[in-house]
Structure 1
Amino acid sequence: MSRLWSPLVHRLTPYVPGEQPKLPNLVKLNTNESPYGPSPRVAAAIQAELAAGDGERLRLYPDPNADLLKQAIARHFGMQATQVFVGNGSDEVLAHAFMGLLQHDAPLLFPDISYSFYPVYAGLYGIEPRVVPLDDGFGIRIDDYLPDVAGDAGGIIFPNPNAPTGRALPLAEIRRLLQARPDCVVVVDEAYVDFGAESAASLVAEHDNLLVVQTFSKSRALAGLRVGFALGHPALVEALERVKNSFNSYPLDRLAIVGGVAAIEDDAWFRDCCARVVRSREALVSALTGLGFEVQPSAANFVFAHHPGHDAAGLAAALRERSIIVRHFRQPERIARFLRITVGTETQCGLLVDALAAITTA
C-alpha cells in the first residue's frame, strides 16, 4: 500500500483473473477459452485491414462508434444498430452498465455464487450489493428477486448460464422477472449462452428494462481480440454510450472491429464449433461420472464437479503436476470442494480423464 493511493483504491479488492501460465505442453482448462480457433474469415479480415496501404490505416483512429460491427451484430439478432452497444470485451460493457444503469440508491441484487467481477464493480462504483443465495442445487430462484421477497432493488444482474456453476434459467423465468420488475434494469450476462441456454435477446423488444450482454471470447473464439456487446432498448444503449464517451471514445481498435464483423457473419463456423463443444461436454460429464465425480448440469463450455472422496485443491495440484490446469475457487467456502473444468478438445479431455483416473485410484 502507498500513502499516495486514493481512499477508493485502499478499499478495493480487485478481481483475480484466470491464470495464463507459460508452460510447455500445457493442457489449459481453467479460463473457458474456446478449444478451437476462430473462423478463418477473421484472420483474412485482419490481414486485409493490415494490408491496406501497407498498414497505413493503423496511423488513424478507429471508428469511435464501431458502426460496421454494430450493424453486423444488429443484423444477426434482427435488431436496429441503435439497440447495440460494443466494448472492449464484455467486462468493459459490464463496467459501463454498472456505472450507467445499476448505480442507484437501492441495492444491486446478484447471486452469492456468480461471476466474481460483480462485487468488484460494485465496490469500484460505490454500489450497495445484496447477494441472493442460490438454492441447494446451485440454481437461481427468480422468486428470491421479486419485490415481495427482495424488496427495493436498484438493479439486478446475473449470468445465464451462471458461472461457475453452469446452470441455466429458462427464458420463461427471465420474462417473469422482467414483468415483475418493470422499473428496475435487469442485466443478463450471457457469456456462455451459446452452449445450451436460451438467449434473452428475444425479449429485448418486449422489455425496455432488459440489457443482454454477450462476448466474442467464448463461442466465437476471440478471447485474445477483446470484443463484447450489449443488446437493449435504445435508451439503455444511450446511457452506455454516454459513459463510454466520458471514459474512452475508441475502445475497439480497427482489427477488433473487422475481426468481430467476420466472426459474427460466419454463422456456420460458429454453430459447428458450439456443437463440437457440446458433444465434448457430454462425453466429459459421462467420463467424470464414471470416475465417481458428481457433476452439476451444465449449459456452458465448462463443467462444475466434485469428487466425494477427494479434496478439490489436492486434485487441482495433482493435475498441475501433470501439466493440466483447472480452476479451483477457495471462496466462497460453499464451492471450495468443486473444480471448474473448461471443455477442451477431445484429446485434452481424454488427457484430463486419464490423469484423474490415475489420481483418484492411486
Structure 2
Amino acid sequence: MSRFWSPIVHTLTPYVPGEQPRMAGLVKLNTNENPYPPSPKVLAAIAAETGDGLRLYPDPVSLKLRTAIGALHDVDPSEVFVGNGSDEVLAHAFMGLFSHDRPLLFPDITYSFYPVYCGLYGVRHVTVPLDDAMQVGVDDYRQPAGAIILPNPNAPTGSALPLAEIERLVSEHPDAVVAIDEAYVDFGGESAIPLVKRYPNLLVIHTLSKSRSLAGLRVGFAIGQRPLIEALERVKDSFNSYPLDRLAAAGATAAIEDAAWFDETRGKVMASRARLTSELEAMGFVVLPSAANFVFARHPEHAGAELAGKLRERAIIVRHFNKPRIEDYLRITIGTDDECRRLTEALREIV
C-alpha cells in the first residue's frame, strides 16, 4: 500500500495468471498453451518484418490482419476488431459495452478475469450458478441484464453449449449485448460467428493463443456488427492507437491463413484429449465433457490440492483452483502424447 495510490487501486483484486515456473524437465500442463509450435509460415512472416520497417509505427487499424480474419469467417473487415490478446479485447468490451444500469451476467465458475474487469471498470455484475453437472443453463439467464458474457466452451470446466442454445440466449436478450468468449472453440465447439449477421447484440471474441499456438505473440479479435465494433475502436483509440506491433500483425495474419497447419495441430490435441480422458476415467477420475484443449477432472478419493502437490513433486504442473465447488478438480492442459504419458504414469503411482 502507498499513500500515492488512487482510491480505485486500493479496491482492486488483480487477476492471478497461471504459473510460469522454471524447473528442469518440467511437464507444464497448467496454462492451456498449445503443445505444438506455430506454423512455419508464422515464423517466416515475423522474420520478414525484422528490418528497417521497425522504425515505423504499425498500421493502427491492422487492416491486413482484419481482412484475413474477415475472409476466414465471411464477414467484412469493418466488423472485425483486433487487440493485444483477447484479454485486451475483453477489457475494451467491459468498458465500452457492458457498463449499464442493469447488471452484467456471467457464470459463477468461469474465467476469473471477468470479476477483475468488473472491479476495474465499476461494472455491476451478478453471477449465475452452473448446475449440479457443472453446465451452463440458458434458462437461468432469464433475468434483468444490461449485458451477458459467456465463455463457450466454458473455462475452467471445458463444457460447451450447442449453437442452438447460444442462439436462444442471444434472441431472448435483444436489448442486451451478449458476448460469447470462444477462446477454446476450435477444439470441438460450435462458433457463434455465423449468427452475427442476424443479431446486432452479439459479439464473438477469439484468441490466437490456443489453437494457433501464439500465446507469446498476444493477438485476439472480436467479430460483431459495426456499431459494436465501433464502440471497441472508440475505447482503443482513447487508450492505445497501436495495440498490435508489426511482428504480431504479420505473424497473426500468417497463422490465420495457414489452414492446413491449424487443422493438423488441433486434430492432434483433440485426439490426445480423448485418450487422456479415457485413461483418467480408467483410474477412477470423474472427467467433465470437454470441447477445449484441457480437461477438468477430480478423483473421489483424493483432494485436488493433494494431487496437484504430488504431481509438482514429480515436476508436473497442473492448475488447481482453491475455490468453492471446484476445489477438488484439476484443470489439465492437453500436452504432447509424451507429456500426457508422464502425467498418467505419475497419477497411477499417486492414486
Could you tell me the TM-score, scaled by structure 2's length?
Answer: 0.99
Query: Which residue of structure 2 aligns with residue 40 of structure 1?
Result: 40
Which of 299, 303, 306 in structure 2 is aligned with 1:307? Answer: 299
Which of 302, 313, 321 in structure 2 is aligned with 1:329? Answer: 321
CA drift at 1:240? 0.2
CA drift at 1:236? 0.4
CA drift at 1:31? 0.2
Gaps of 5+ in 1: none
Query: Which residue of structure 2 aligns with residue 119 of structure 1?
Result: 115
In the aligned structure 2, how far is the partner of 1:193 from the partner of 1:290? 27
CA drift at 1:56? 1.1
Identity %: 64
Q: How does 1:252-271 map to 2 (within 5 A)?
A: 252-271=244-263
Gaps of 5+ in 2: none
Q: Could you tell me which amino acid in structure 2 is paired with residue 223 of structure 1?
A: A
1:292 aligns with 2:287: no
Q: How many residues align?
A: 351
Query: Which residue of structure 1 aligns with residue 24 of structure 2?
Result: 24
User: Match of 2:244, SS?
Assistant: coil
1:359 aligns with 2:350: yes
Q: How does 1:1-362 map to 2 (within 5 A)?
A: 1-50=1-50, 55-146=51-142, 150=143, 152-331=144-323, 333-360=324-351
Q: Could you tell me which amino acid in structure 1 is paired with residue 22 of structure 2?
A: K
Q: Could you tell me which amino acid in structure 1 is paired with residue 336 of structure 2?
A: T
In the aligned structure 1, how far is the partner of 2:5 from the partner of 2:133? 42
In the aligned structure 2, how far is the partner of 1:58 from the partner of 1:178? 43
In the aligned structure 2, how far is the partner of 1:115 from the partner of 1:180? 23
User: What RMSD over aligned residues (CA atoms) do the two structures have, in Å?
Assistant: 0.5
In the aligned structure 2, how far is the partner of 1:9 from the partner of 1:56? 40
In the aligned structure 2, how far is the partner of 1:324 from the partner of 1:359? 13
Kindly provide the CA deviation profile for residues 185-204 of structure 1, in whole angstroms up to 9, marking residues without a partner as x: 00000000000000000100
> Structure 1 runs of 4+ off > 2 angstroms?
none
User: Match of 2:179, SS?
Assistant: strand
CA drift at 1:264? 0.4
In the aligned structure 1, how far is the partner of 2:40 from the partner of 2:164? 36
Kindly provide the CA deviation profile for residues 91-143 of structure 1, in whole angstroms up to 9, marking residues without a partner as x: 00000000011011110000000000000000111011100000000100000
CA drift at 1:77? 0.4
Kindly provide the CA deviation profile for residues 72-93 of structure 1, in whole angstroms up to 9, marking residues without a partner as x: 0000001100110000000000
Q: Could you tell me which amino acid in structure 2 is paired with residue 70 of structure 1?
A: R
Q: Could you tell me which amino acid in structure 2 is paired with residue 267 of structure 1?
A: A
Could you tell me the TM-score, scaled by structure 1's length?
Answer: 0.96
User: Match of 1:85, SS?
Assistant: strand
CA drift at 1:268? 0.7
CA drift at 1:23? 1.2
CA drift at 1:177? 1.1
Q: Could you tell me which amino acid in structure 1 is paired with residue 189 of structure 2?
A: A
In the aligned structure 2, how far is the partner of 1:117 from the partner of 1:355? 31
In the aligned structure 2, how far is the partner of 1:6 from the partner of 1:49? 40
